[in-house]
Structure 1
Amino acid sequence: MSIKKVYLIRHGQTDYNLQGIVQGSGVDSSLNAEGQRQAALFFEKYKDVAFDKIYTSTLQRSIQSVQKFIDLGLPHDKHAGLNEINWGTREGTRITPEEDAYYFELLETWGKGGTSICIEGGESPELVWDRQKEFIDLMLSRPEEETILVCMHGRAMRILLCQLLRYPLRCMDEFRHHNLCLYELDYTGSMFSVKKYCDIAHLEQNIV
């Protein structure tokens, strides 16, 4: 049986990332100059990989992060299941010390297994988990797509990795992320394995 290879990346940097402003699924921000540089570095490193398909969220920061691959003519699908968690009332706002305390208390609750708890006005990890199932089923139903590139968002990526690697959802923070980091996964038909974990070596190269 052939191995399906999944290159899973987080989008590049935005000004909101830089300024500590919550984005989530409700803020459709663009990459900043640094994010564009990160995307170019990733492209330079992986442009010769024979990707059969590109999947992104519906948000432009994820699409812009792989635009150079799309411009090569590679097939591209946008899937709402890959969108970031909805951070509710905090989207588009700078995190205050009070909100920071609430956020970390919520993360602690999720880490103890309370993953059905929604952030105020937004989603819970379990709701994100549920909407990601349609994408996972779609991805696994297409054996002809042997090598795929998936670009999404930090918290949602942690949740997806729990699903693919069969981790309890409360363990999602075990998966670190960085703007334009790479998780490379192999799927043998029964299980996924990690070949690269939060890899950012491509961001350390120079574009000739």
Structure 2
Amino acid sequence: MSNDQSPIHHTKTIYLIRHGETDFNRQGVVQGSGVDSSLNALGQAQAEAFFQAYQHLNFDKVYTSVLQRTHQSVKKFLERGHAWEQHEGLNEISWGVREGKIPNSRDNEYYKILIDSWIEGKTDMPSEGGESPEDVVARQKPVFELILSRPEEQLILVAMHGRAIRILLTHLLERPLHEMDTFDHANLCLYKLIYDYKTSKFSVELACDVSHLEGISE
């Protein structure tokens, strides 16, 4: 047998989920990092369905944002005693002064111009009173540097938010930040990521997977 053997912890598997539905999601209210909404009945059912599908996995650690909709989405795993950390760096983007409101036609036009600007490459442009995608990825990077510095945590669950996930995936997959909207998301969707410590690269095994939600009615 060759002495050139692979290290025991040469990969890390990350189950990255978006939180379940909230009433604000359903109503079209802008949430962002400044609105700490709870899951509604459907969101709770989505969280339960995800738990039923993946309860056989023994996660070494659960990571969430500091917002309760992510905590509630992984509640059943936490109740089983999985180690848990919450990090503000995993919070949703701050949408600024328009958070907590249903957008009117003027707001919708504002958001269209803002997101179009990001797609055009102006990812340093913040929302009014809020953050830019570059602000968000700057606070995400230290959290994932911490996560990757713990190779003993081979299997982890991370619960985050829609826009924040799009931004994070561009960073992890070494894609330009302006391509963030090429990543789909849905409430309680799953991205399964594999990190290879030898190559320092991520690969995607599942993208925006919602197969665990089949049979849940809206």
Q: TM-score range by the shorter chain?
A: over 0.9
Equivalent position amino acid for 1:107 in 2 = I
Aligned to 2:41: 33
Residues in 2 aligned to 1:83 and 1:90: alpha-carbon distance in whole angstroms? 17
Q: Which structure has the larger Rg over C-alpha atoms?
A: 2
Identity across matched positions, percent: 57
The answer to whether 1:16 aligns with 2:24 is yes
1:115-138 alpha-carbon deviations (Å, 9 max, x no partner): 000001100000001000110110
Letter in 1 for 2:203: S
Q: 2:209 aligns with which of 184, 199, 203?
A: 199
How many residues matched? 206
Q: Tell me what 1:187 maps to.
A: 195
TM-score, normalized by length of structure 1? 0.98
| Cα distance in 1 between the residues matched to 2:57 and 2:113 | 41
**1:97 Cα deviation after fit:** 1.2
What TM-score does the superposition give when structure 2 sets the normalisation length?
0.93
Structure 2 unaligned spans of 5+: 1-6
Q: What residue identity is the alignment partner of 2:41?
A: A
**Residues 1:56 and 2:64 are matched in the alignment:** yes
For structure 1, the 5+ residue unaligned runs are none
Aligned counterpart for 1:93 among listed residues 94, 97, 101? 101
Considering only aligned residues, what root-mean-square deviation do their CA atoms show, in Å? 0.8
Q: Determine if contact 1:41/1:205 at 8 Å carries over to the other structure.
A: no
Q: Determine the C-alpha separation between the residues in 2 that align with 1:9 and 1:67.
A: 13
SS in 1 for 2:58: coil
1:19-57 superposed Cα distances (whole Å, 9 cap, x missing partner): 000000000000000000000000000000121000000
Query: Partner residue of 1:144?
Result: 152
- Any residues of structure 2 matched to 1:62-81 within 5 Å, and which? 62-81=70-89
Query: Which residue identity lines up with residue 146 of structure 1 in the other structure?
Result: Q
Counterparts of 2:25 and 2:133, CA distance in 1: 21
